[in-house]
Amino acid sequence: MKCSACKARLARYREGDLSAAAASAVRDHLERCQGCQAFLAELSALEARLARVREIEPRSDFTQLVMARIAALPSPARAGQRSRLWWLGMYDVVAWVLLAALAATGILHWQAIVGEGGLLAGRLALAGADLYRIAGHFHLGVYAAAGVLIESLAAIAIAIAARRTLRNVGNNLLGARAI
């Protein structure tokens, strides 16, 4: 074993973190090499020196100071309650702002959108009337309402799950770095 390899393994050797074979190789090298013995002694002395460092004491009023300062902050509990619904509103606001910006820059023609919307609404009304007639004929109203309800609940559940997943991914990626 070369000295560089031995020195690279010495810290793990001291921690007992090497395999039996690797530890044996380091031990054999140490028995023969005075330079690595000296390096090991230096490491041991440094660790002993680090271990001797005294801890400093926090000031006696540390906790009171912190508690007084956080009293001025909004409660994380209240902030959490507020945050449950604000994101739905935010998405809505962002969508409208985006739409307005696209219309203002001429990328979207709002008259065309309104016209298309009106046409679509008319078609939906006709289709709805047809569906109503069919549903009434086959008594499907209750089933259709149940279907719509289930689909809505599923959409909400997916939105909540996606939000939680994204938040966890964000926590994993960024963690406290953002704090």
Partner 1 sequence: MGRFSVHITDGGRTIYAQATDEELVARVLTGDGTAFAPLVERHKRGILNFIHAVVRSAEDADDLSQETFMRAYAHLRTFNPKLAKFSTWLYQIARNTARTHLAKERRRPPSEDLFEDETLEQKLPDQHHSSPDERVIARDDERLLHSALQKIPEKMRTALVLRYYRHLEYQEIADTMRVSLGNVKTLIHRGKSALSHALSAVEATQLARAQHARPEVAHREVLCV
Interface contacts to partner 1, rule CB under 8 A: 7-8, 10-12, 17, 42-43, 46-47, 49-59, 62-63, 65-67, 69-71, 73-80, 83, 168, 171-172, 175-177, 179
| For partner 1, the closer CB: 56 or 112 | 56
Structural contact between residues 134 and 140, judged by C-beta atoms closer than 8 angstroms: yes
CA dihedral 122, 128, 133, 138 (to 10 degrees): 160
Residues whose CB is less than 8 angstroms from the CB of residue 101 and which lie 6 or more positions away in sequence, other chains included: none
CB of 162 to partner 1, least distance (A): 17
Query: Residues 6, 30: contact at Cβ < 8 Å?
Result: yes
Nearer to partner 1 (CB atom), residue 37 or residue 152: 37
> Which residue, chain included where needed, has tokens 């939105």?
159
Q: What's the closest the beta carbon of residue 125 comes to partner 1, in angstroms?
A: 46
Nearer to partner 1, 37 or 168 (CB): 168
CB of 48 to partner 1, least distance (A): 10
Which is nearer to partner 1, 77 or 142 (by Cβ)? Answer: 77
Structure tokens at 84: 């449950």
Shortest CB 135 distance to partner 1, Å: 46
- Closer by beta carbon to partner 1, 112 or else 176: 176
Supply the minimum distance, in Å, between the C-beta of residue 160 and partner 1: 16
Count other Cβ atoms within 10 Å, centred on residue 10. 20
The answer to whether the CB of 26 falls within 8 A of the CB of 1 is yes
Enter the tokens of residue 44: 């041991």
